[in-house]
Structure 1
Amino acid sequence: MSWFKSYWKVDEQEQMVLEARRKTPKRITIIGLPSIVLAGVVFATVFGIVSATHDNSHGANNAAHSVANSVKAVCDVTLYKDSCYSSLGSVVDSRQVRPEELFLLSMKVALSQVSKAIEYFNYQNHAVFKGFKDARTMEALNNCRTCIEGFENAKEALKASVSSPVIVLPSLHGLTRLEAPEWLHSKDRKLFITKDLKKKKADIVVAKDGIGKYRTISDTLKHVPNKSDKRTVIYVKRGIYYESVRVEKTKWNVMMIGDGMTSTIVSGSRNFVDGIPTFSTATFGM
């Protein structure tokens, strides 16, 4: 009976077995506890690293997404969207997402491109100029460059050269309007430019107020010689002349002058409804 033996003296061999059994769970417990702690530390470390990596990756994705949206918002209003995306997308970072920062960055990119273009077309460094070895091609390129340099002061030269013709043009236009036909005699041409022609050169004066010899234009024409080779100058003074004037084909070289279109006025009253043919209703005909 094992339960009964426990109250009595146990032999030495059994005592050793019992002691060994009691120590074994303690050893397992002591050894197992550090293992659990170590596993926990390893697990926590791995979990922390994975979590941090996940958080950093998630944050980086958010930053990249924010940058992409900012670049797209700026480039969508430009004329060349693809060029804007490629130029800004390669230099912008997560710290430059505000519109004003992107604008300044785009200006820097543009200035950089302009500098590259200037450097590319620099005469001394341009590979095209260095690539040509033959004298003929180099001379042609030098001539082109000389031609371009000749336009540097073209603005001032053209301004001085063009201003004079522009100023003279109105006066030339006036002379063109006064230009007489070839069949007109030289003496008759002078009549067009003579000052006070109506006072000094008029052969007949017509005056509505009766100051002159004739009161109507029609009466004056009756006294003009037929088929005359001499120019007959008729001065019609200011006034409204209610008549229909007809210069017959036998009245040659007749010249009429007045005091202006608002001062010397001829007004007829012939109409087709009055039984007069349309051909004969002209106020001033010949």
Structure 2
Amino acid sequence: MANNIAVISICSVLLVAVVVAVTVGVTQSGKSDGDSGEVKSASKAIKELCQPTDYQQSCENSLSNANTTDPKELIRMGFQAAMTEIETVIANSTTLKELVKGRPRAKQALENCHELMGYAIDDLNNSFKQMGEFDVDKYEEYVENLKIWLAGSITYQQTCLDGFIKTRGESGEKMRALLKTAQELSSNALAMVSELDLSLKKLHLSGATQGVVRRLLSHDQSGFPSWVSSTQRKLLENSSKFDLKPNVVVAKDKSGKYGTINDALKEIPKRGSTPFVIYIKKGVYKEQVIITKEMKNVVFIGDGPEKTIITGKLNYVDGVNTFRTATVGKWNFVYYIYELNELNARGWRRKTPPFQVGGHSRPSYAGSLSHDQGGFPSWVSSTQRNLLENSSKFDLKPNVVVAKDKSGKYGTINDALKEIPKRGSTPFVIYIKKGVYKEQVIITKEMKNVVFIGDGPEKTIITDFHFLQFAFEPLLAAVIGEKFMAKNIGILNTAGAKKHQAVALRVQSDQSIFYHCKIAGYQDTLYAHSHRQFYRECIISGTIDFIFGDAAAVLQNCRIIVRKPMSNQKCIVTAQGRSERREVTGMVIHNCTFTGEPKYMSVKNKNKAYLGRPWKEFSRTIIMQSHIDDIIAPEGWLPWNGSFALDTLVYSEFNNRGPGADTSKRVKWRGLKTFNEEHAKLYTPHDFLHVDEWISRSGVPYTPGMMPGL
């Protein structure tokens, strides 16, 4: 019988008008005045919302005309203010045209800024729309999207300014001045969302159903959760039910106004701002109870978990979708249950959640992420497997075939790109037959869900001679459109070490995947610029900062090869560019191999190699469960410029192996962290990229957590 009972004694006191209102006044001081949790004026709401930001005055100024206390709308207005400011920058930047005349680098930097500001506005606009659609059922996905897009907007603005480094004249300083407020407002927007996320986590509104229950049931010495105020405790601990003065009494013995809970629910006012107390006397109530999103601040008081019982028998096996099987479904988060026993009469049958949070129960990842012998997760469909592992390219039924031997529809990749539909929602597959394609390939932001399939990274090769003349020039290959995927493709920049910065591939594509690809160059080979990126079983080679950028990127099972540099150069693998402390970006290198090409091995003692250096103030690079050959200098890491970022960066090496993995002689910077396994797990694909939402759909094999046996 014990296994058939789910005891719900959740003393939930989330007294807010909407879920996002937890960002205001609830967690800032840890205090509560016992009211509805809503602020009493727009001015106070703005001050509360701006309090955790780094630029409070800019925040308050940008929201000064707001006439609402709804934090959700205020946050959206914050996004809108940042967009408006960037649009102002674009308009005013025309005044810089005179300053860049006769200065080609500065001129190119200014042109790049116009493009980059457009991308920044796109990310802010995506955030604005997502906040308007905010669905607590998809809380984690939405907040993750917001953080990624806002970080992208910040990165684009920073990249604009980076373009003016080493340019002559006043144009760089003028652009920095123009962008100052826009950068502050973008930073503030990220701070608001980060505070929202932190507040919701503190109130335990995320995670699987039973996990929520467990966390909500953690108590302090008085027996209540630590976040329950004294006023709220009085409401919940009063021994006399009648002292509570319930709004409605439900009783099976007809001593109350109603005999069923559902009849009592009809009296609940829509979106009430004060507690509506329903006292449910002892008895077994065989009904499905749904607290809709309109029913706010509802309190259930029972006579005890073994006396007041709500029971039902809907279940997945009998044909009811999991979404609909909960006996008690909760579509809002302003809700108490006290001394109730919720019994599912079918017991713990498969996919039958006893209690639903937000009308949705998350699946357990423990079973869903198991892999079969083929290396794919067990839940990858046969169609997806065929796309990625089929040896016969013709079984893929590509939309377009490109071939140098004229056996395809086109002879160049760029001709094939013209067939891609704008903003397509389904994969558009381009099969690129073996051959060397000397062309510059740009996947624009309008080209979504594009898939490149080649004959192998040593057979299908995209290459050209490009070196960095101007910052952010789209060099050999640039991928901007979201959900791009490439398999069996080689991308080689042949400019050589003497040409210094020579990007082979720049990636801005959100939720992009590179599988079994080769990316080769010298300095600045792979520019993992922004958004979410995953690289599996790829080969990446170069000399200086050859994996750099500010994406949230994971490289798993890849081979990282240091090449022979110029005689006076050191080699540095990574240069991560996180410029804001709240950005969820970073470079994670997981179960990869660090080694050197044969030509480098002969000079490794003279031209030393390092794991990375901090390009920006909050640079974050995690190397874990990887094999490091004896090519890495004992110090491990290299400064960028003096003491810059050494206290604020986050670098860590966890459970690596090989002769170069010895950390005993590593630099002693404050930012160099020692992680335990629990902390390291936060940087696995499952936790860092939330890959189950997008990589699983691609069918690419990956390990979601720590590598077993390492």
More helix, by proportion: 1
For normalisation by structure 2, the TM-score amounts to 0.15
For normalisation by structure 1, the TM-score amounts to 0.36
Find the structure with the greater CA-based Rg: 1
More strand, by proportion: 2
